[in-house]
Amino acid sequence: MCEKLLREGKAYVDDTDTETMRKEREERKESKNRNASLETNLALWEEMKKGTERGTQCCVRMKIDMQSNNGAMRDPTIYRCKPEEHVRTGSKYK
């Protein structure tokens, strides 16, 4: 699903650190990665799927209205990779 959204231009891969992302969302500023090329997004998406160090620094965000009064709707994160094991599934999906 993420790859489809990336190809349709409805999502993007973002490597912005958490604190900067929070600040940009509060200030209604677009991420520097929001308009990255499809090739860049797909390359980072592959890194995420492989679980590389670079991939674990990224997340996939939906392109929604950054001017929304609802802060939760300002390009929310829809997918991320964490190197830690999941509480219930462990490393089953890694």
Q: pTM of the predicted model, to two decimals?
A: 0.87
- Does residue 92 have a pLDDT over 70? yes
Cα-to-chain-centroid distance, residue 7: 14
In this prediction, residue 14 has a pLDDT band, given cuts at 50, 70 and 90, of very high
Query: Rounded distance, CA 93 to CA 74, Å?
Result: 28
3-class DSSP assignment, residue 76: coil
- Does residue 10 have a pLDDT over 80? yes
Residue tagged 């200030």 (tokens)? 27
Query: Rounded distance, CA 75 to CA 64, Å?
Result: 5
- Does residue 93 have a pLDDT over 70? no
- What the chain holds in terms of domains, given with CATH numbers, is 2-80 (3.90.800.10)
- Does residue 48 have a pLDDT over 80? yes
Which of 81, 79, 3, 64 shows the shortest CA–CA distance to 28? 64
